[in-house]
Structure 1
Amino acid sequence: MTKLRQVKVLHGHGLSMVDAVRQIGISRHMFYRWRKQSGEMNRAQLSRRKDLEKEKERRRRAVSDLTLENLVLTEAARGNF
């Protein structure tokens, strides 16, 4: 986020986008990928997004664990152990 802001400021001071990106030390492709991912979000929105992604991953693991546990119990109930 900080680097995106730095590029925006340098570009505003008259540097071309390519020169601004080069000056902060990242590739053009990385800059455009970061910009595409974050869009025009502010810090609070990015923080919220990261929190939601962590929660989503936690829930995905919980469902996976429960599914595996369910399969084991199903096999045990059939007597195929």
Structure 2
Amino acid sequence: MKKSKFSDSQVMEALKRVEGGLSVPELCRELGISSATFYKWRAKYGGMDTSMIARMKELEAVDRTKIG
């Protein structure tokens, strides 16, 4: 799986900026991402804080080691 060039806190900040009124196309231009990437972030991380994201990634890593 490809590692994101954005940290968890950067993703959270991007989501908060859109909630604060910045348009999705403007944010995507600033960050150099596609709108699909933004909406994927929102679907996956919307409503979470940074610590919740870190815990989710930790659990996903444990699952990968058990499966593979």
TM-score greater than 0.5 by the shorter chain = yes
- How do residues 1-81 of structure 1 correspond to structure 2 at under 5 angstroms? 1=8, 2-6=10-14, 8-9=16-17, 12=20, 15-61=22-68
State TM-score, norm by structure 2. Answer: 0.66
Identity over aligned pairs, percent:
32
Q: What secondary structure, in the 3-state scheme, does the structure 1 residue paired with 2:37 have?
A: helix
CA distance in 2: counterparts of 1:59 and 1:29, whole angstroms: 30
Larger Rg: 1
Higher relative contact order (CA 8 A, sep 6+): 2
Deviations 1:2-60 (A, max 9, x none): 14523532663x54221222122111111111111112211111111111111111112
Higher helix share: 1
The answer for unaligned runs of 5 or more in structure 2 is 1-7
TM-score normalised to structure 1 length: 0.57
Runs of 4+ in 1 over 3 A off after TM superposition: none
